[in-house]
Amino acid sequence: MNDFMQQALAAASRSAPPWLEPLQARGREAWSNTSMPTRKTEAWKYTSLQALQKTFSAAPTQAAGSPLGDVPLPKLSGPTLVFTDGHYRADLSTTELPAGLRLVRFADATRDQAERIAAALGSAILPGRHVFAPLNDATLTDGVFMDVAANTRIETPVHIAWLTTGQNESISVTQRLLVSLGENSGATLVESFANTATGGTAFTNGLTELLIGRGAQLNHYRLHLEQGDVVHIGGVHARQEADSTLNGFHLALGSALKRIDLVVNHQGAGAHCSLDGLYLPRGTETVDYHTCIEHAVPHCTSRERFRGIIADEASAVFNGRIHIHPQAQKTRAELSNKNLLTSNKAEINTKPELEIYADDVQCAHGATVAQLDPLTLHYLRTRGVPRDEAEVMLSYGFINELVEAVEQAELQAFLKPLLARRFARDSRLTRHIL
């Protein structure tokens, strides 16, 4: 184990509920046997973990009572759970729940709930598929179990905000969410990740597991809004039963490093998943999305649309793997990744990775890398639009299709100005977009 690996364990708080201890122990052991990925590891070829070569200490054992300041978070009408530095903040949360929905913190779980959680944790993660999952297990002290009863449709969105606050030292924070949707249920989940404006360095390890029952539909939005020195390594692992639907929307503004693995397992026929994603690193930031759709059964469909705008000296990675197993006949899978580089020093590494072992399937994929088209820019200018505004309109236009596809209206209203202002601070330049 290298320094980071040992220190990450040493930093782990021991104040977990007793029923989590077996999971922690398994995690510690698995982490001890883990080799830290290097640039020679295929799945980490373009992303260096150099940013982890510094000292991260344990998150404070008490929640900071500080106000949040101007953290850009969506304001949604449903229940909201806020965590700062891994601690639940009752003072910032609203927990009025509609019938059929339970939000259980691990630390508060009853014995029955604890049994269900313990049995389900990790079950959506294929063995060896998430390098940092054992560390998450080993350091897990609290998390959230979102449980939607069968045949229930929850109309209001559930919002879980994972925040890190301004600290002088670098801290390490573990975040864990387990979601279970009963048969024929439906829900909308928004996860936001952000840090307070005062900064501080944090290593956050956020792991989300989605267990989507037969005929159920989950709309899952995962917004990575952290900025500055934050290093996030996390993932979403979904298991979909027959005829279920997962609609995922993923956003990553840049910070020092974000590596997010999205893995969807189709376990029952007739399941559908769509994953939309946007990544917008700038400065010297790095964002790395690795997606993997495991088509293990017949008659499933998947559609992925990822767009990235990479500015300055930033870099991004998109790796989209589609694995169609021999028995997964009649699979339809689509993957599209488009990238816009707005500087000569920006870097994108995009790779579709198709493994197809069934013969009766439709699979389409495409990746593009481009710069703002000079003739399109010129066309706007011939109509009097100033160059700087035209550039902002075209940059925003590049991602607009996916923003417009966000069905949750409150969230779309939050995202539009946030994203438009990503391309221009001057409101004169965004006035026609907003």
Partner 1 sequence: MLKIDNLHASVENKAILKGLDLAVGAGEVHAIMGPNGSGKSTLGHVLAGRPGYTVTAGSAQLLGQDLLTLDTEERAHLGLFLAYQYPVEIPGVSNMEFLKASVDAVREHRNEPALDSVSFMKQAREACKAVNLDQAFLKRGVNEGFSGGEKKRNELMQMMLLAPKLCIMDETDSGLDIDALQVVADGINAMRSPDRSFILVTHYQRLLNFIKPDRVHVLSGGRIVKSGDHSLALELEERGYAWLEDVA
Smallest distance, Å, CB 399 to partner 1? Answer: 7
Closer CB to partner 1, 246 or 420, in the complex: 420
Q: Interface residues for partner 1 in 399-428 (CB under 8 A)?
A: 399-401
356 binds partner 1 (CB under 8 A): no
Joined together, the tokens standing for residue 412 give 């779309």
Smallest distance, Å, CB 419 to partner 1? Answer: 12
Residue type (1 letter), 99: A
Q: Which of 30, 149, 361, 385 binds partner 1 (CB under 8 A)?
A: 385
Distance, first Cα to last Cα, the chain: 50
383 CB contacts (<8 Å, ≥6 apart)?
none
Q: Which of 396, 414, 421, 423 binds partner 1 (CB under 8 A)?
A: 396
Q: Interface residues for partner 1 in 301-330 (CB under 8 A)?
A: none
Choices 53-61, 96-104, 296-304, 393-401 (CB under 8 A): range interacting with partner 1: 393-401
Smallest distance, Å, CB 310 to partner 1? Answer: 17
Sort 410 into a burial class: Cβ within 10 Å, 0-12 / 13-18 / 19+. middle
378 binds partner 1 (CB under 8 A): yes
Q: Which of 81, 280, 393, 424 binds partner 1 (CB under 8 A)?
A: 393
Cα–Cα distance measured from residue 218 to residue 101, given in angstroms and rounded to the nearest whole number:
13
389 binds partner 1 (CB under 8 A): yes
Q: Which of 387, 407, 426, 427 binds partner 1 (CB under 8 A)?
A: 387
Task: Name which of 165, 160, 244, 247 is nearest 208 in CA terms.
Answer: 160
Q: Which of 120, 150, 394, 418 binds partner 1 (CB under 8 A)?
A: 394
Smallest distance, Å, CB 413 to partner 1? Answer: 17
Closer CB to partner 1, 161 or 309, in the complex: 309
Closer CB to partner 1, 314 or 433, in the complex: 433
Smallest distance, Å, CB 424 to partner 1? Answer: 13
Q: Which of 40, 111, 383, 425 binds partner 1 (CB under 8 A)?
A: 383
- 13 with 59: CB under 8 angstroms? yes
Alpha carbon 337 to its chain's center:
17
Choices 24-32, 273-281, 291-299, 382-390 (CB under 8 A): range interacting with partner 1: 382-390
- 200 with 54: CB under 8 angstroms? no
Sort 53 into a burial class: Cβ within 10 Å, 0-12 / 13-18 / 19+. exposed
Smallest distance, Å, CB 222 to partner 1? Answer: 23
Annotate each residue in 213-242 with x if it binds partner 1 (CB under 8 A) or - if it does not, as one string. ------------------------------
Smallest distance, Å, CB 281 to partner 1? Answer: 20
Q: Interface residues for partner 1 in 244-273 (CB under 8 A)?
A: none
Total residues binding partner 1 (CB under 8 A)? 24
Choices 40-48, 120-128, 245-253, 390-398 (CB under 8 A): range interacting with partner 1: 390-398
Residues that bind partner 1 (CB under 8 A): 374-376, 378-387, 389, 393-394, 396-401, 432-433
